[in-house]
Structure 1
Amino acid sequence: MRITDIYELKESKTFILSPSQQKKINLKLDKLCIPKTLLTGTIKYRDIPIGNATIQILNSNCKPLYCTQSNKYGIYSFKNILAPGKYQLMATKDRFLTSPIKKVKIYPDTIKRLDFNLYKNPITRKVLLYGTIYNNYNNKCISNAKITVRPKDNPSKIIATTRSNKSGQYLIYNIPHSDFIITVSHPKYKQKTICRHLKNISKINFKLNKIRESCKFNFNLIIRAYDDEIVFYEIKSKFRKR
């Protein structure tokens, strides 16, 4: 908020100082006559008060002069701060559209009321989901992993799908606020599924376990007898994923 002087400094009379000379000069301060003014109002969204909204007062060139914030009841006020004259006001709040600029004229000893209605920014009405896919063993990023988002109340329906980039990062946007089932899959990794409530901007990282390949040996022994006993055996191997 801008600081306003309540005293006015008066100039002293002209005087001359010679080298090595001292002189005492008294200065006089006159208290300014600050008019009693009050500008107040409420900030609402569909008749719901908005707290911590910022209200700015601008001059005729749209240069900020004063600012304050609304309380938990959506009420703001500028008491004995504004000199009589013409001003412009606007209200702002995170995730809301900035209000149109409103003009107001302040009179001395008069209460002026100016209310604002803010509307939610349509961009923030949707969810932005992002994160990174990692290898759980060495924390290396996994590229080309498939991320699928389904509604919790309708798992057969796919809302959105994407794949991670070379850095393992993914981004899904423009999905509604709701409870979702998120599945991450990759041919070389075990599939992972979680259920989350997504709202506004959500960051979710995933760590996948790699599918290890193991070898299973089958031993078939063939024993044959000749003049001397000779034992032959052969090894059959079979690979499987686990």
Structure 2
Amino acid sequence: MNVMRSAPAKAPPGGTAPHILVVEDEQALGTLLAYNLEAEGFSVERAERGDEAELRLNEAVPDLVILDWMLPGVSGLEICRRLRAREATRTLPVIMLTARGEEAERVRGLSVGADDYVVKPFSVPELMARVRSLLRRSRPERVASRLSAGDLDLDRETRRVRRGVRDIHLGPTEFRLLDYLMERPGRVFSRSQLLDGVWGQAVEIDERTVDVHVGRLRKSLSRGRERDPIRTVRGAGYSFDETFGKA
């Protein structure tokens, strides 16, 4: 069995990143999709065969499936048909990928229950937008567009962060780091866990890199006597202070 994971197989509990299963037998495309989804803050799991995907879906139901039409083992079309026949996955959002562009084939894909249909080659930003749009309709509680704590506000759609009336300019990594910590206030993450959650498990970088980026994030977030929302837990790691902004 050749299942590649970028995150734990179990669907995450409420309040954590939406979990997406990418079923694509073209390894380069699967890697590209996983990279971009993780950069958007999603938890990603990959499978390259239809029968492997069915095993993962039987173990735990993700929040959304990106499903290639043509797969070894079991076709994407058949997987989608079976998903719609099961009570647990009847409403599971499915985006189908295919090289077939004819209208009749699109109708066939949608007729078995796919929620959206994307023809290869496609624009990755457009696919990311479709993923978020579909999740907002089907799992609105899992894709909050804004995170707020006290006078700190993070807008995922515009990629802007404000503290009071002040705009805070963050690099892409610091933005993802803040997003990751703010979504889970009070939870302490080790450097290794942050590397997996923010950078991705495939990235091989030193854990001290986390300290560098946390330092940059802190410098951007707090000025003068402003309270630091990032808490260092000695010997354990970092967390977003759950008491930040509370009386």
Q: Which band: TM-score by shorter chain?
A: under 0.3
Q: Larger relative contact order (C-alpha < 8 A, sep ≥ 6)?
A: 2
Question: Could you tell me the TM-score, scaled by structure 2's length?
Answer: 0.21
Q: Select the structure of larger CA radius of gyration.
A: 1
Q: Which structure shows the higher helix fraction?
A: 2
Q: Which structure shows the higher strand fraction?
A: 1
Question: Could you tell me the TM-score, scaled by structure 1's length?
Answer: 0.21
